[in-house]
Amino acid sequence: MTMINAHDPTRTDQLPPADRALVERRAALLGPAYRLFYDTPLHVVRGEGCWLYDAQGNRYLDAYNNVASVGHCHPRVTAAMAGQAAILNTHTRYLHELLLDYAQRLLDTLPDDLGRMVFTCTGSEANDLALRIAKSESGGTGVIVTANAYHGTTELLAGMSPSLGPAMRKGQDVWMVAAPDSYRGTSLADGVAAALVQMRARNVQPAALLADTIFASDGIFPTAPGLAEAVAMVRDAGGLYIADEVQPGFGRTGKMWGIDHLGLTPDIVTMGKPMGNGYPVAGLAGRRDILDRFGQNMRYFNTFGGSPVAAAVGLAVLDVIRDQNLCQNAAAVGEYLLEGLTSLQSRHSVIGDVRGQGLYLALEFVTDGATKAPDSATALGVVNGLRDRRVLISATGPGANVLKIRPPLVFSYAEADILLRCLDECL
Amino acid sequence: MTMINAHDPTRTDQLPPADRALVERRAALLGPAYRLFYDTPLHVVRGEGCWLYDAQGNRYLDAYNNVASVGHCHPRVTAAMAGQAAILNTHTRYLHELLLDYAQRLLDTLPDDLGRMVFTCTGSEANDLALRIAKSESGGTGVIVTANAYHGTTELLAGMSPSLGPAMRKGQDVWMVAAPDSYRGTSLADGVAAALVQMRARNVQPAALLADTIFASDGIFPTAPGLAEAVAMVRDAGGLYIADEVQPGFGRTGKMWGIDHLGLTPDIVTMGKPMGNGYPVAGLAGRRDILDRFGQNMRYFNTFGGSPVAAAVGLAVLDVIRDQNLCQNAAAVGEYLLEGLTSLQSRHSVIGDVRGQGLYLALEFVTDGATKAPDSATALGVVNGLRDRRVLISATGPGANVLKIRPPLVFSYAEADILLRCLDECL
C-alpha cells in the first residue's frame, strides 16, 4: 500500500479542465486524507474485463486491480447482484438459504479443520474480528506482524500496519518483525523467535501471528521463508496463526488460497477484497472449537455482512472462478508473465529480482545488484511511464521499489504481452 | 441490540422440517456467535415495502427494519445499483464524479461547520475512524459512552458497547455513564461531569463523548436530557463530540438527522445503516479543520467505501427520501402511532411510558408504575405474540423491557393501524 505515486495536489496542469475541477472539488469535499494515484490523476468512467476507460474514451490496461478480480463489471456477478437485490436484502437474524450455501461453498475450498464461517463487509472487519477471537482464545494480547505489513483501517489494525507510514501509531503489545525475504535471504522464524523472547521477558502472552500469506506490502514473497517454523513457535507459545488471505485469496496465486501452496492450516483465515468483485463482502473461516468457544460468550452481528445479496454475489464470483477456470488462467498467464519478466531482467540490470505466484508478481528495482539497495526512483518512473502508456500499476515494499503486478484473473496472454512491451519501453 | 428474543437452538419443534434443517445447517456452518430472532425463527424469502414474505407465502409486517429504510427492495435504489455496477465499480484513488456529487449532497443536509466527508462500508468502520480522529485531534484517550450503548463490532467499539452483555470487555479509558432518561429523570450531564472528574484524577485526557443522538440501545430517549450541557463540558475539557447517527439518521426521526431536533453541531457525525437501503454504505462528516489536520498526517483508504456503486445507491436513497417526502411521512405517521400508543397506555397499566420521535418509538413496560421496575417478561411476550400475528418487532433498553418500534420510513397509516391492533391484542 506504499503510495509512491500519491497525487500531489499542486500538479494538475496536465489535466483536462473538467478533471482539474474534479481534483479541486475533491480536495474541498473530502480533504487531504484522500489520496489519488499518479502525478496526473486518472478519471475513469467505465470498466470491462481488464480495461478501464477515461472520460475521453481512452482505454487503460488494468494490471493492478485485485478487487474486480474476475474482470470489471462481470455480467454474471452484476446480474446476481441485481437479481437478488430486487427480491430480498436483509440481515442474518432471519433464516436464509443463500447464506448457508455460500458458507458451505467457501468452507469446501479450505482445509477440513476450518469449519466455521463469519461474514463481514470488509477485510478490515475480518482481521479485526480475527484478532478479537485470538485474544479471547489465547487469553493473550501480543500480536506479531511483519515490518511493512498492511492489515486494515480500524484503530486496532492501523496500529499493526506499518506500511501506513511514519504517522502510524503502533498499538500496544504489537511486535513488528522482518518479513520473509527470499531475495535477501531473511527468514520469518528469526524475527518471530526474537519477538517471543521479548514477550516472555515483558510478561506479554502471545495472542497471534497475523501474516499475509503472500507478504504483499512487504514486497511480495510467496515462498515465505521460515513461515512454517514461525507458526510452530507461536503455537507452542499459546498464540494463534491468522492467515490474512484478503489479498492472495480467491485464485490470484493460481490456487484458491495462498495457504494451498504453503501446506499450512491456519487457525483462522481472513478473506475480502476480490470476494464480491467490488460488492463489499468479506469474512473469516476458523477452527470449529475456537469459533464455538468465542460464540458461547460473545455474539457477533454485522448489519450488512452475510446478507442475501452479499451471498448471491459471492456465489456468482465462485461460479465464475470455477466455470472460467480462473485459477488455471492465473497460473498459466502468471507463468508466462514471469518468464517475460525474467527475460527483461536479463536485459536491464536495474531489475534485481523477479518473483511471484500466479497473477501476483513482483519486479524489484535496485541501484546495485550486489548491495541490493532499493531503487524507488526507477519504480516511480516506471509507474508513471506505464500510466503514460495507458497501463495501470503500482509499487510496494518498504523501499517502494517493487512493481506490484496484480491484474484481474481474466488477464490474457495478449494483455500480458502489452504489459511486457510497455515495461520494456519504460526501462 | 438486546437479544431478548435470541433463538434457543433446542426449540425448533414448531418449525416446518425444511426450516428446521436450515437451523441445523446454520449451527454447523456459522456456529453459536450467530443468533436468530424469535423462539420460532423466521425464514424470509422476499421483501417489498414494509412487508417480508416467508417460504410459505405468508406476509409479515416489518415494524423493525431501519436498514431497508425506504422500503424493502425499492426499485429506484436497486435500479441505481444494477445500472452503475454494470458500468464501473472501483476505488477512490481514481477520480469519479458520483463520489463528489454524493459527498456534496450529504454535506448540504448538515450544519455548515461540517465540511468534509469520509466514506466507509459500515457504521462500525465510521465510528472506529471517528474515534481515531478524535484521539489524534485531542491528543487524549478518554472516551465517554452511555451505560447501555451500542456503537459497533470492531475491537475498539466492542469495548465501548455495554449492550453486548456481560462478556463485553471494557476498553481502556472508557467511561460508561447513565443515559439521559426522560422517564426516570436522569440527566446525561451528571454522569459526564463525574466521568470528567475521574479522568482528571487519573490523568486521562478526554478524547470524545460518543453518543447515539436517540440513545436507541439505552431505551430510546430523543429529548436527551442534559446532552447539550454534557457536550459543552467535554469540549471545555478538550474532547470532541461525536454524534452517532447510524440509527437515527436519514429521516427516521421526521427530520434528516437527530441533531436537527437538538440544535447541536457535533465535531463529527457518523452515519450508516439506512444510507444504502441494504447496500453497505457508511461514513462520517466532520469539521474541516479537524479532518484536514488528520489528513495531513494520515491517509485513509477504504477499498469499497465511496465506490461509484456505493455513491449511486446512496444518491438514489437521498432522491427517494426527497421525492417521496419520507421525512414528512415519518413525522406524520410517527405522530399518529404515538397517539395510538398513548391511547393503549391509558388502557394497559403495564405500559409505563410511551415516547419517541418520527418512526423511532418506544413502549416501556414496567411491573409497577410507581417504582418503574422493568418488565422484560411482558416485552418478550409481546415480541413473540406479535410474531405469531405476523408483525416483526424487537425490544431494547438495559432491562430489555422497551418495545423498539422502527418500521421502514414508507410505513402507512393503514400499516400503523395493523401494528396498534395487534399490540392491543397481545396486551
Which of B53, B89, B210, B301 best probes binding to A when mutated, by most A CB atoms within 10 angstroms?
A: B89
Res A11 pLDDT > 80? no
Are residues A164 and B303, on separate chains, in Cβ contact within 8 Å?
A: no
**Mean pLDDT across B122-147:** 98
Task: Let me know if residue B385 belongs to a domain.
Answer: yes
ipTM (interface predicted TM): 0.97
Residues of A with Cβ-Cβ distance to B36 under 8 angstroms: 93-95
Q: How would DSSP label each residue in B229-279?
A: HHHHHHHHTT-EEEEE-TTTTTTTTSSS-THHHHT---SEEEE-GGGGBTB
Q: By CA distance, what is B278's nearest residue in A?
A: A89
Percentage, residues of chain B above pLDDT 70: 97
Mean pLDDT of chain B: 95
The pLDDT of residue A386: 97
Q: How would DSSP label each residue in B127-184?
A: HHHHHHHHHHHHS--EEEEETT----SSHHHHTT-GGG-TT--PPTTEEEE---BTTT
Any idea what the CATH number is for the domain that residue A83 is in? 3.40.640.10
Are residues B81 and A86, on separate chains, in Cβ contact within 8 Å?
A: no
Are residues B103 and A29, on separate chains, in Cβ contact within 8 Å?
A: yes
Mean pLDDT of chain A: 95
Res A387 pLDDT > 90? yes
- Of the residues A290, A323, A356, which one is the last residue of a structural domain? A323
* Strands lying side by side in the sheet with B114-120: B114-120, B282-287, B268-271, B240-244, B206-212, B142-146, B174-177
Residues B9-42 have pLDDT tens digits of 446 778 889 999 999 999 999 999 999 999 889 9
Per the CB < 8 A criterion, the answer to whether B391 and B416 are in contact is no
Q: Say whether both B380 and B289 belong to one domain.
A: no
Least CB-CB distance to A155: which of B43, B128, B299?
B128
Q: Say whether both B87 and B210 belong to one domain.
A: yes
Q: Say whether both B401 and B318 belong to one domain.
A: no
Give the lowest-confidence range in A61-70, A130-139, B34-43: B34-43
Q: Work out how many domains chain A is built from and give that number.
A: 2
**Mean pLDDT across B177-193:** 98
Which of A36, A98, A303 best probes binding to B when mutated, by most B CB atoms within 10 angstroms?
A: A303
Q: List the grid coordinates of A408.
A: 484481474
Res B6 pLDDT > 50? no
The pLDDT of residue A263: 94
Q: Say whether both A163 and A206 belong to one domain.
A: yes
Q: List the grid coordinates of B248.
A: 437515527
Give the lowest-confidence range in A8-17, A308-317, B282-291: A8-17
**Mean pLDDT across B168-178:** 96
Are residues A36 and B93, on separate chains, in Cβ contact within 8 Å?
A: yes
**What secondary structure, in 3-state letters, does chain A show?**
CCCCCECCCCCCCCCCHHHHHHHHHHHHHHCCCCCCECCCCCEEEEEEECEEEECCCCEEEECCCCCCCCCECCHHHHHHHHHHHCCCCCCCCCECHHHHHHHHHHHHCCCCCEEEEEEECCHHHHHHHHHHHHHHHHCCCEEEEECCCCCCCCHHHHCCCHHHCCCCCCCCCEEEECCCECCCCECHHHHHHHHHHHHHHCCCCEEEEEEECCCCCCCCCCCCCCHHHHHHHHHHCCCEEEEECCCCCCCCCCCCCCHHHHCCCCCEEEECHHHHECECCEEEEEEHHHHHHHHHHCCCCCCCCCCHHHHHHHHHHHHHHHHCCHHHHHHHHHHHHHHHHHHHHHHCCCEEEEEEECCEEEEEEEEECCCCEECHHHHHHHHHHHHHCCEECEEECCCCCEEEECCCCCCCHHHHHHHHHHHHHHC
* Alpha-carbon span A33 to A36, nearest angstrom: 10
Any idea what the CATH number is for the domain that residue A417 is in? 3.90.1150.10
Q: How would DSSP label each residue in B195-218?
A: HHHHHHHTTPPEEEEEEETT-TTT
* Alpha-carbon span B61 to B387, nearest angstrom: 9
Are residues B158 and A132, on separate chains, in Cβ contact within 8 Å?
A: yes
- Of the residues A308, A323, A338, which one is the last residue of a structural domain? A323
Greatest alpha-carbon pair distance for chain B in Å reads: 62
Residues of A with Cβ-Cβ distance to B68 under 8 angstroms: 89-90
Per the CB < 8 A criterion, the answer to whether B363 and B395 are in contact is no
Q: Say whether both A146 and A238 belong to one domain.
A: yes
Per the CB < 8 A criterion, the answer to whether B369 and B352 are in contact is yes
At residue B387, what are phi and psi to the nearest 5 degrees? -60, -40
Residues of B with Cβ-Cβ distance to A99 under 8 angstroms: 26, 30
**Mean pLDDT across B67-86:** 98
Residues A200-247 have pLDDT tens digits of 999 999 999 999 999 999 999 999 999 999 999 999 999 999 999 999
Are residues B304 and A122, on separate chains, in Cβ contact within 8 Å?
A: yes
Task: Let me know if residue A11 belongs to a domain.
Answer: no
Of how many residues is chain A composed? 427
Are residues A304 and B23, on separate chains, in Cβ contact within 8 Å?
A: no
At residue A114, what are phi and psi to the nearest 5 degrees? -90, 100
Are residues A292 and B32, on separate chains, in Cβ contact within 8 Å?
A: yes
Task: Let me know if residue B5 belongs to a domain.
Answer: no
Buried b (16+ CB within 10 A) or exposed e, A300-338: bbbbbbbbbbbbbbbbbbbebbeebebbebbbebbebbb
Task: Let me know if residue B9 belongs to a domain.
Answer: no
Residues of A with Cβ-Cβ distance to B4 under 8 angstroms: none
Task: Let me know if residue B3 belongs to a domain.
Answer: no
Cβ-Cβ contacts under 8 Å between A and B: the total is 303
Least CB-CB distance to B96: which of A44, A132, A299?
A44
The pLDDT of residue B11: 64
Q: Say whether both A220 and A107 belong to one domain.
A: yes
Give the structural domain span for A52. Answer: 17-70+325-426
Q: Say whether both A277 and A222 belong to one domain.
A: yes
Task: Let me know if residue A12 belongs to a domain.
Answer: no
Are residues A93 and B280, on separate chains, in Cβ contact within 8 Å?
A: no
Of how many residues is chain B composed? 427
**Mean pLDDT across A325-339:** 98
- Nearest C-alpha of chain B: how many angstroms from A187? 30
Percentage, residues of chain B above pLDDT 90: 94
* Alpha-carbon span A44 to B92, nearest angstrom: 10
Residues of A with Cβ-Cβ distance to B155 under 8 angstroms: 128, 131-132, 135, 154, 156
Q: List the grid coordinates of A267.
A: 487457525
Residues of A with Cβ-Cβ distance to B304 under 8 angstroms: 67, 121-122, 278-280
Q: Say whether both A147 and A106 belong to one domain.
A: yes
Q: Say whether both A117 and A136 belong to one domain.
A: yes
- Nearest C-alpha of chain B: how many angstroms from A215? 18
Are residues B121 and A121, on separate chains, in Cβ contact within 8 Å?
A: yes
Residues A146-178 have pLDDT tens digits of 999 999 999 999 999 999 998 899 999 999 999
- Of the residues B323, B355, B370, which one is the last residue of a structural domain? B323
**Mean pLDDT across B148-171:** 95
Task: Let me know if residue A1 belongs to a domain.
Answer: no
Task: Let me know if residue A9 belongs to a domain.
Answer: no
The pLDDT of residue A375: 98
Place of cell 483508504: B301
